[in-house]
Structure 1
């Protein structure tokens, strides 16, 4: 069964969202759980890509920003993408895209993380995704931070 975790931040600050995403990616790496960060905001993904080179508690966090098929490398542990590529061996989807990708609806990820801010648009979109996950029969947890 797919497990979905909503992480609800007490702020609308995007910097706080990025900070939590970085922490979750680091924990995914430490837990040996290959991940995909999926967003509709390529500029945010590029900023996170730069910040991943600076994660202080690990020597190196193998990751790649996927903009073309040539960017896909089996040795990269974390992918960042603004569209769904045919990515093998990803067990964790960190979805900050307004929509749920078909691959997630089909259960191709065993875990899904949603990082939510208090921005009204983000909240409304997250409610829609919550209802969809519930209707799909996924196990849902909410963590208010």
Structure 2
């Protein structure tokens, strides 16, 4: 069954998401990161390229030819078919239509009220669908 992790009260969502992507990559798990739009995708891609001084987080857009051999896919505003049993890092305001298709879903929730409202709605929907949900309050982390 798909495990869903909500990381709430995140001070810097982009920094946190880069660390999460790095962690999933180091575990050898394929990852799909869904962002709200193309501009957000480009900004996040740049953040991944410059995330660490000596680390490398290989990624590309999901529809590019090199996606077949790239462990991290980026998508803008859509949850592509064929993502298989990847881990989903959801940075989009949308919820996947088929959440059970992912091995795990990571939901990052900022400190602003709009993020919290969206997260509450998603949490209820995942709960209604019977998913295994875990909550991690990140307010105490830097």
Same fold (TM over 0.5): yes
- The equivalent position to 2:98 in structure 1, one of 103, 119, 135, is 103
Q: CA deviation at 1:52?
A: 1.3
Q: Does 1:48 align with 2:17?
A: no
Aligned to 1:131: 124
Shift of 1:10: 5.0
In the TM superposition, what is the alpha-carbon distance from 1:31 to its structure 2 partner? Answer: 0.3
- 1:58/1:74 CA distance change after superposition, 3 Å: farther
Normalization by structure 1: what TM-score?
0.85
1:4 aligns with 2:16: no
- TM-fit CA distance, 1:48: 1.2
Bigger mean CA offset, 44-53 vs 83-92? 83-92
2:70 to 68, 73, 76: 76
CA RMSD of aligned residues (A): 1.8
Partner of 1:64: 60
Structure-2-length-normalised TM-score: 0.86
Distance (Å, rounded) in 2 between the aligned partners of 1:64 and 1:90 = 18
Aligned to 2:89: 94
